[in-house]
Each structure stands twice: as structure tokens, then as C-alpha cells.
Structure 1
Amino acid sequence: MKVAIQNNAKVLALFAVACTALVSLVSLLTKDTIARQEQQQLLSTLHQVIAPERINNDLYQDCQFIKDEEYLGSNQSQTAYIARMDHVPVAVAITSVAPDGYNGNIQLLVAINVDGTLSGVRVLKHKETPGLGDKIETRKSEWVYNFNDKDIIDEKDLRWAVKKDGGMFDQFTGATITPRAVVNAVKNTMLYFNQHQKDIISNTTSCRGQHD
């Protein structure tokens, strides 16, 4: 009996090793493919918030890491993508986080024109409730398009709130927390851009290769 148990244990150990090796191999073989897919998805989203005809630089490469927990919603580094036409900056797309979503963090991409108006906003990742909070997605509703062309005066700009709080943005029926969180995060991202625009557009160091 003891020998049989030992043999079974050896078989299980070998099986575990083989499975681990197989998973590692698959991960290695698919790593580049996944990276390319993620890059294409990001480029597609960038071109949704900054029209391709407005720029002629490599938007994916022309970027830098930025960090500001107060305005960008996270203690992790975020990315600013600088859009240029003939080397002249026209807009910046910034990743940021709404930390107070109903079900946790909501990751955003906020594109701001150099004149301070919004070029576009997209949700990159969230865990909001299907049928309620997920209306922040473009495939669920057109709500996020309401940010287009909006500007901000300062931190006390009362327009930057949902209508329930006296602002200019609609809330969702049965779900106010999610749109309130997104509006606040977009507002803070715009405030950050207004304070740091000169530093962002003058920095030519690419973020590619630093963390890739």
C-alpha cells in the first residue's frame, strides 16, 4: 500500500510539473500576440477620442508616464499620449481612474485639446453593474459622448456634476454613483492637464520600452 501511495504521489508530481511547463510555454508563445492585440485595441480607442486626420505622429509611441494620486485617481503611474500635427501638439489623451465607482475603480481615457476643451472620453475598464452602471460604455449608451467639447473654468465649476447634484450631466435611472464618479474623474483629469499642459507637451521622452 505504501509503495502504491508513493508511486501515485510521483505520478501526480510529474503531472503537476508537466502542466506548469505547458502553461508557461503557452504563455511564452502567446505573449507577443497578446501584446500586439492590446496595442491595437489601445490605438483604436485613442483614435476614437482623437480623430486620426488631426495628427501625423505615432500616437502610441509619443507618450510619457505621469503620476498624481489627487487628480488622476491612483497612486500608480498613468500615461499621457501626445497628439501632434507636423510636430505641433493638438491634444493629449490621459489615462486616469475614477476610484469611487459603485463596484470599484473605473479606468478612463480622457483626451483634451490644447485649447482646454474635451476631445473625447472612453471607459477602458470597469466592474459596474450590468444594465445600470455599464451605460458608461459606448456599446451600451451614448452617455459618454456628452463630454465632447466641454471645458472647465476651475475647481469650483459647478457645472461639473450630475444633474441630481445641480450639474450638467445626466445620471442613470437607478444608478447615480457611477456617472457621478466618472464626471468627477474627468473633471480632475482636465484640471491636472490645465496645470501641467506645458510640461506634458514639451517632454519628448517616450514611455515605450520603459515598462513594456
Structure 2
Amino acid sequence: MLPELSRSMLKNSLVLAVFAAVTVAVVAITQQTTKGRIATAEREAQIRALGEILPAHSYDNALLDNVIYLNEPLLGHTTETPAYIASAEGEPAAVILQARAPDGYSGSIQLLIGITAEGNLSGVRVLQHKETPGLGDRIELAKSPWIKSFDGKSLTQPNQQGWAVKKDHGDFDQFAGATITPRAVVNAVHKALQYFDQNHAQLFAHLNTAESQP
């Protein structure tokens, strides 16, 4: 009786071990086959997001292969954050910065900001926020065209005073019942332009260094 019980227990143990091994193998194979697809999908999503900021015809390099990492308080960074450097025929074309407006109504607002080599805004988009639906969420392009009011602006157009919402005697519209949110975005974009102006040469030096390497 005991030998039969032992054989049965051994058999069950072997079956469980084989089942576990097969399960692990299947999971590993599934992860490997889907990993590439996920990476490709993520890369395509990044390219689409960057394409909303910078028209494809304005540069000819691979933005995702020309990345530098910044940890800049003026941009609201608290950790290293990627920035993308664009070129056209080997010449600097633009930079796409990530910035954080820490003073939104419901928390920080993450922004993607494109600035041409001449210092003009090519576009601004909101990456993430927690602003009030129906009020502050109008910073999203899907909810309102307000974010496009930055297109073509620069550090000097408007002037220093103009870089504020109209309630603060500036040039940018605020939302009815939600002034804090657009104020935070305007301030963050203005600071990004200031950072770009102060670090123009250094930003594009990264591109030149990367392209000169064999």
C-alpha cells in the first residue's frame, strides 16, 4: 500500500512539475513574441505625439534616436526627462521639450513643447493632467483649440507682460470659471522659452556631437 501511495505521489509531483515547466515556457515565449510588438506600438505612438508638435517635413532625422535627458528646474523637472533634437540636412531645426506646470488647479500638468531653432513655438500639447472635467480640461486639444494659441509665439512675441492670461493683463485667454489652469500652462510655456533662449547652443551641441560620431 505504501509503495503504491509513494508511486502515486511521485507521479503527481512529476505531472505538476511538467505542467509548471510548460506554463513557464509558454509565458516566456508569449512575452518574447509580444515584447517586440509592444515596443513597436509604443515607438509609433511616440512618433505620432511628436508629429503633432513638429511637422514631419520640417526635419529629416529620427527624433527618437536623437534624445538627450534634462533635469532642469526651470522646466519643472524633478528627474531626468527626455528632450528630442530635430535637424534638417544636418542643421538644427527644433527641439521638443517636456515641461511640468506644478501649479495646476488639481496638480501638476505635463506638457510637450516644440520650439524651432529660431525660437518660435511649433506647438504645445498636454501629456497628462488632473484638471476638472468641463473646466480645466479645455487645455486638451480634443476639448478645445485653446492650446493652439501658442503656435508661432516666441519669447518676445508677445512681450514679457503679454505672457500671462488676460485676467492678469496678458494676451492669453482664460477659461470661464477656470483661470488657474491656463495660467499654469502659460507660465510653464514661457519658462520653456526662457530655458531654450538661455541654452540654445548647448541643446543643439548635443545634436552635432551625436551626428559627428561614426
Task: Confirm or deny that 1:86 pairs with 2:93.
Answer: no
Given the superposition, is the C-alpha separation of residues 107 and 27 from structure 1 closer, same or farther in structure 2, using an over 3 Å criterion?
farther
Spell out, residue by residue over 1:76-128, the C-alpha distance to the aligned partner (whole angstroms, 9 max, x if none).
Answer: 11222111111111111101111111111111110001111111101111111
Q: TM-score of the superposition, structure 1-length normalised?
A: 0.79
Task: Confirm or deny that 1:190 pairs with 2:193.
Answer: yes
Q: 1:46 is aligned with what amino acid?
A: L
Counterpart residue number, 1:153: 156
Q: Distance in 1 between matches of 2:110 and 2:93?
A: 23
Task: Confirm or deny that 1:67 pairs with 2:71.
Answer: yes
Native 8 Å contact 1:72 1:78 kept in 2: no
Counterpart residue number, 2:10: none
Given the superposition, is the C-alpha separation of residues 162 and 63 from structure 1 closer, same or farther in structure 2, using an over 3 Å criterion?
same
Q: 2:130 is aligned with what amino acid?
A: K
Deviation at 1:74, TM superposition (A): 2.2
Q: TM-score of the superposition, structure 2-length normalised?
A: 0.79
Deviation at 1:40, TM superposition (A): 1.7
Question: What SS is found at the alignment partner of 1:187?
Answer: helix
Matched length: 185
Q: Which runs of 5+ in 2 are unaligned?
A: 1-19
Question: What SS is found at the alignment partner of 2:65?
Answer: coil
Given the superposition, is the C-alpha separation of residues 174 and 202 from structure 1 closer, same or farther in structure 2, using an over 3 Å criterion?
same
Given the superposition, is the C-alpha separation of residues 90 and 140 from structure 1 closer, same or farther in structure 2, using an over 3 Å criterion?
same
Task: Confirm or deny that 1:170 pairs with 2:173.
Answer: yes
CA RMSD of aligned residues (A): 2.4
Q: Distance in 1 between matches of 2:185 and 2:39?
A: 28
Structure 1 stretches of at least 4 aligned residues deviating more than 6 Å after TM superposition: 24-29
Q: Percent identity, please.
A: 44
Higher relative contact order (CA 8 A, sep 6+): 1
